[in-house]
């Protein structure tokens, strides 16, 4: 009596039968009729062998039958047979791609926080500054920071011996005077030079030569400069005011102002040394708002195309996604008084960030009366819209300010139809904020 077929051989034979069915289904109209009949005959013969219980086939007999079927299918199988990775898995890959697109569109969409308007609830790109007089992080520390925090390390060296000069532009906003380091926008690269990316380029001066520092767009170098050269001051403007009082303000080559830092460096020494940690990456729940309305206090993600106050000077809409906290729904009246946001004449409730801002604790700076909510002013949300504000009120451009100096109505509100979901889960980087979004 014949011994049972090896399991591996039986599995290979059954797979060959499946492929024969696929060749016939996909290529019946392209093959000669006799080839179709030949494949069917060889396929049925093999199937009968495998299905026989009274007289199990010998291994040699099955192998010969498989060889005959393989030969005829190689001749007429086209792209279906013989099997390659692509033609065997293309359906699976297509299904996986469609499934991924469906999940992203209707359920969970990944989103990266670009700025610090919601800090400290969520962080955009943040800096870790190292002393230019120290060794800085070693290779292992850089790798660990990259893995855990998505950090990019930047250091630039002096081209000569001399004093570091910091150019500044002086201006003011509703929070008072400000000093910023001027920059230029240019087309750079990212991902090891593979992808194009818009970047900002800053310059420091040393004995008439400049050191260029390139950073991602939306990352400002001002606080890195302050921490490096003026750590005793809270803002760069404070450092500028102190330098002006001491007679340390000079005119740079372009006629602008600059601060003589008093810091002498040697050729090849770091003039800047810092990490840029990536912004929080989170999943946006796009599903629940199909059934329930957004609530006051929820961190919402919305499209900006239909917010006229964000249009550029030519009237072109801003085609982006923003994340802010919902602070008002239709009919609500909002006002800021003494670091507290008031909703309908009562301190707003519905999120921990509201209370922490009112108390100015845990890194929350308090709500600032600016633009449409400047001291003594209120703003009432019209039907069909919601009001959005950032948790980092001093640094958040939001419904208080969008279109503040532009004519027209409803320039600054978020249409309810443009709210796509709420922040759900921070999945990277691995910081204390990792986990369910607040």
pLDDT of residue 96: 66
Asked if residue 258 and residue 305 are part of one domain, the reply reads no
118 domain residue, yes or no: no
Asked if residue 254 and residue 300 are part of one domain, the reply reads no
pLDDT of residue 29: 85
Residues 6 or more apart whose CB falls under 8 angstroms from that of 266 comprise 158, 161
Asked if residue 326 and residue 259 are part of one domain, the reply reads no
384 domain residue, yes or no: yes
DSSP one-letter code for 153: E
Asked if residue 159 and residue 27 are part of one domain, the reply reads no
The residue among 215, 250, 277 that closes a domain is 277
Asked if residue 31 and residue 65 are part of one domain, the reply reads yes
95 domain residue, yes or no: no
pLDDT of residue 88: 57
223 domain residue, yes or no: yes
Asked if residue 432 and residue 361 are part of one domain, the reply reads yes
15 domain residue, yes or no: yes
What are the DSSP E strand ranges found in 252-378? Answer: 257-265, 270-277, 281-285, 299-303, 321-328, 333-337, 340-343, 346-347
**What is the SS3 assignment for 59-122?**
HHHHHHHHHHHHHHHHHHCCCCCCCCHHHHHHHHHHHHHHHHHHHHHHCEEEEECCCCCCCCCC
86 domain residue, yes or no: no
Return the closest-CA partner of residue 12 out of 64, 59, 60, 66.
66
What are the DSSP E strand ranges found in 47-190? Answer: 108-112, 126-129, 152-157, 162-173, 176-180, 183-190
DSSP one-letter code for 84: -
Could you please report the per-residue DSSP string of 240-286? Answer: HHHHHHTT-EEE-TTS-EEEEEEEEE-TT-EEEEEEEEPPPEEEEE-
The residue among 262, 277, 292 that closes a domain is 277
pTM: 0.72
- Give residue 164's domain range: 126-277
| Peptide bond just before 120 cis, omega within 30 deg | yes
Asked if residue 31 and residue 152 are part of one domain, the reply reads no
Asked if residue 388 and residue 285 are part of one domain, the reply reads yes
SS3 302: strand
Asked if residue 414 and residue 294 are part of one domain, the reply reads yes
pLDDT of residue 195: 72
Asked if residue 256 and residue 190 are part of one domain, the reply reads yes
115 domain residue, yes or no: no
User: Could you tell me the CATH number of the domain that includes residue 63?
Assistant: 1.20.1270
CB-based contact 217:211 (threshold 8 Å): no
252 domain residue, yes or no: yes
Asked if residue 133 and residue 65 are part of one domain, the reply reads no
CB-based contact 402:432 (threshold 8 Å): no
Per-residue pLDDT of the chain (438 residues; tens, 9 = 90+): 456 778 888 888 888 898 889 888 888 888 888 888 998 998 899 888 888 766 777 888 888 888 998 898 888 888 788 876 555 566 666 666 666 666 666 677 888 888 899 999 999 999 999 999 988 899 999 999 999 999 999 999 999 999 999 999 998 877 789 999 999 998 877 666 667 778 999 999 999 899 999 999 889 999 999 999 999 999 999 999 999 999 888 876 556 899 999 999 999 999 999 999 999 999 988 888 888 888 999 999 999 999 999 998 888 888 889 999 999 999 999 999 999 999 999 999 999 999 999 999 999 999 999 999 999 999 999 999 999 999 999 999 999 999 988 888 899 999 999 999 999 899 999 998 999 988
User: Could you tell me the CATH number of the domain that includes residue 377?
Assistant: 2.10.109.10
The residue among 277, 312, 327 that closes a domain is 277
Asked if residue 154 and residue 74 are part of one domain, the reply reads no
**How many H helices and E strands in the chain?**
8, 22
Number of domains in the chain: 3
């Amino acid at each position: 009596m014949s011994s049972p077929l090896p399991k591996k051989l039986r599995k290979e034979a059954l797979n060959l039968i499946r492929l024969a069915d696929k060749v016939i289904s996909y290529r019946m109209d392209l093959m000669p009729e006799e080839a179709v009949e030949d494949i069917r005959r060889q396929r049925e013969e093999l199937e009968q062998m495998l299905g026989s219980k009274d007289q199990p086939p010998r291994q040699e007999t099955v192998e010969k039958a498989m060889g005959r079927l393989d030969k005829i299918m190689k001749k007429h199988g086209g792209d279906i047979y013989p099997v390659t990775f692509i033609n065997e898995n293309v359906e699976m890959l297509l299904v996986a791609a469609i499934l991924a697109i469906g999940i992203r569109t209707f359920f969970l969409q990944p989103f990266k926080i670009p700025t610090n308007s919601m800090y400290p609830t969520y962080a955009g790109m943040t800096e870790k500054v190292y002393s230019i007089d120290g060794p800085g992080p070693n290779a292992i520390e850089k790798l660990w920071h990259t893995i855990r925090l998505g950090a990019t390390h930047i250091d630039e060296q002096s081209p000569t011996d001399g004093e570091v000069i910091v150019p500044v532009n002086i201006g003011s906003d509703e929070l008072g005077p400000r000093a910023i380091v001027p920059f230029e926008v240019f087309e750079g690269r990212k991902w090891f030079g593979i992808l194009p990316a818009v970047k900002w380029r800053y310059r420091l001066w040393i004995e008439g030569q400049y050191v260029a520092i390139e950073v991602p767009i939306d990352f400002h170098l001002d606080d890195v400069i302050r921490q490096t050269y003026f750590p005793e001051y809270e803002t760069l403007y404070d450092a500028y005011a102190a330098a002006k009082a001491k007679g340390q303000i000079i005119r740079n080559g372009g006629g602008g102002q600059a601060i003589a830092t008093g810091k002498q460096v040697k050729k090849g020494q770091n003039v800047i040394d810092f990490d840029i940690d990536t912004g929080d990456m989170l999943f946006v729940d796009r599903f629940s708002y199909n059934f329930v309305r957004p609530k006051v206090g929820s961190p919402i993600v919305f499209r900006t195309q239909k917010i006229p106050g964000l249009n550029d000077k030519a009237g072109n809409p801003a085609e982006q996604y923003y994340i802010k906290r919902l602070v008002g729904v239709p009919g609500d009246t909002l006002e800021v008084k003494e670091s507290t946001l008031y909703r309908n004449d009562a301190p707003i409730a519905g999120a921990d960030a509201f209370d922490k801002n009112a108390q100015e604790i845990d890194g929350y700076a308090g709500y600032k009366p600016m633009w449409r909510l400047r001291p003594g002013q209120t703003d009432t949300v019209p039907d069909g819209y919601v009001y959005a504000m950032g948790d980092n009120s001093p640094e958040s451009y939001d419904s208080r300010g969008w279109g503040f100096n532009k004519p027209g109505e409803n320039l600054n509100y978020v249409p309810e139809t443009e709210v796509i979901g709420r922040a759900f889960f921070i999945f990277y980087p691995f910081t204390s904020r990792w986990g369910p979004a607040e």
